[in-house]
Structure formats: structure tokens, C-alpha cells
Structure 1
Amino acid sequence: MYSVAVTREFIASHFLIGGDWGSENFPHSHHYVAEIRIDGDQLDQHGYLVDIVDIEAALDKTVAYFRDSVLNEKPEFEGLNPSIEHFSRIINEHISSKIRPLGNASLTVKLWENATCWAAYQKEFKQS
């Protein structure tokens, strides 16, 4: 199994809903680190799982969309608590719509909201 990964840092704000989380219920920002990792069993004719330039472009576009925003105001979060679990899935959906590895592969988004806390979401691509 091959793996390739790219990371980006960005700041975005949110506030938690649906429970009593004290200060987390009020708008605050996080310095996020998003790691996009693709694992797969097949390389293309150039020896790439996915060209890193393509991964970087997809991640840069996604990060630009969320950077300096209030996540609660984005349509993807409508009716959702903007947890890092939901956020990692949403980023995964943005990236996986732009990247298509060959063979059996998966795309994992690991999203850090600080130096010690992260959540991840993995999507499987099946060979067609």
C-alpha cells in the first residue's frame, strides 16, 4: 500500500451548539492543521498514487474557502454542531470530489484544532 500526504494550516472560527460547553458556546478561533493522506494499491503511469500538485491544489482551494470564516455560517454546517469530527468529514468531501486515485484507495483527513486534539474521517474509493 502506498501513501502520500499534504498538510496546510489555517485559522477559522466557530461556536458549539446543542449543549452547554461553557466558553466553547461563544465564537472563538482555532489554528487548524489539515493533513490529507491518500493510501492506495496502484500507481499511475508516472509512478504516482496521485500527483502531489493535484492534492495541493485541491487542499489549497478548500482551505481558502474556510480560512478566516465562521464555520457556523457555511452551508455545509447548517444544522450541525461544527465539531472537528464534522469538519474533517466536510473537508474530506471537498477534497474527494476533486481527487480520484486509481485502484482501491482511501482518502483520510486528519484535522488538528490545537497541538493535542484532532479528529479524522476516511473515505474509501473502490476500483471501477
Structure 2
Amino acid sequence: MFAVTVRDHVMIAHSFRGEVFGPARRLHGATYVVDAAFRRAELDADNLVVDIGLATRELNGVLAALNYRNLDELPEFAGVNTSTEYLAKVVADRLADRVRDGALGEGARGLAGITVTFRESHVAWASYECAL
């Protein structure tokens, strides 16, 4: 399996509900380094997994909708604990939609999957993998 990974970052604010979250129940900020890995079994006709420029642009576009936002105020996250794991799934699913819509080019239609990793720090991160 081949893979190409692109990286960006996002800065958000949010809070959590539930005793398990302790002090994170209060509003707080988080800065994540976000990696999106695009996978396929065979390279396309140009010997690419995906166009890196398009992948970078689309990851940036997906994250722009979240960047410098209080997620608690966004209707799409109403009543949702926006954990690191959950945010990785949201971004992966949105990237998958962009692949299906052709935003990453025709060659990207041969992708097998996307894995998005949200890095909270140098010692903790979470990922979500979706099939295409």
C-alpha cells in the first residue's frame, strides 16, 4: 500500500461534558498538528498516490472551517464532545467527501482510504481511518 501524508494545524476552543473530562469541562483552547495520509494499492498513471498540492489545499480548506473557532458555538457540534478522536473523524469524512466530489483530481478517485491524525502534543495523538 502506498501513502502520501500532508500536514497542517488548527487552533480551536471547546469544552466537554462529563466527569471523565475533569477540568477540560471548562472552555479551553487546543492547537493540533493535523496529518492526512492518503492511501492506495497502486500508483495512478502519473505514478502518484495523490497530487500533494491538491491534498494540502483541501486539508487546509477543511481545517479553515474550524480554525480560530469555538466549536461549542457551531451548530454542527451542538451537544457533541469534540474529542481529539471525534475531530479526526470529522476531518477524514470531510476530506473523503472532497475526494468523491473530484476536488483532489481524477487520479484521487483510485484512493483506498484516508487516515487523519490529530496530534495534541508530542506524547498524545488520535487517528481515524476511513475507506473510500
With over 3 angstroms needed to count, the CA separation of the structure-2 counterparts of 1:103 and 1:71, relative to structure 1, is same
More helix by share: 2
Query: How far apart, in 2, do the equivalents of 1:68 and 1:21 lie?
Result: 22
Deviation (angstroms), 1:37: 0.3
Q: Which amino acid in 1 is paired with 2:9?
A: E
Q: Which amino acid in 1 is paired with 2:114?
A: L
Mean Cα deviation higher: 49-58 or 72-81: 72-81
Mean Cα deviation higher: 60-69 or 75-84: 75-84
The answer on whether the counterparts of 1:76 and 1:90 sit within 8 Å (CA) in structure 2 is no
| 2:28 is aligned with 1:28 | yes
The answer on whether the counterparts of 1:49 and 1:102 sit within 8 Å (CA) in structure 2 is no
Aligned ranges 1:48-127 → 2 under 5 Å: 48-100=48-100, 101-103=108-110, 105-125=112-132
Q: Identity of counterpart residues, as a percentage? A: 27
Query: How far apart, in 1, do the equivalents of 2:111 and 2:32 lie?
Result: 29
> C-alpha offsets along residues 9-63 of structure 1, whole Å, 9 cap, x if unaligned?
2211111113353320111111101100011112222111111111111111011
Q: Which amino acid in 2 is paired with 1:112?
A: R
* Structure-2 residue corresponding to 1:40: 40
Runs of 4+ in 1 over 4 A off after TM superposition: none
Query: How far apart, in 1, do the equivalents of 2:128 and 2:115 lie?
Result: 6
The answer on whether the counterparts of 1:54 and 1:99 sit within 8 Å (CA) in structure 2 is no
- Aligned pair count reads 125
Deviation (angstroms), 1:115: 2.2
Q: Kindly report the root-mean-square deviation, in angstroms, between the aligned alpha carbons of the 2 structures.
A: 1.6
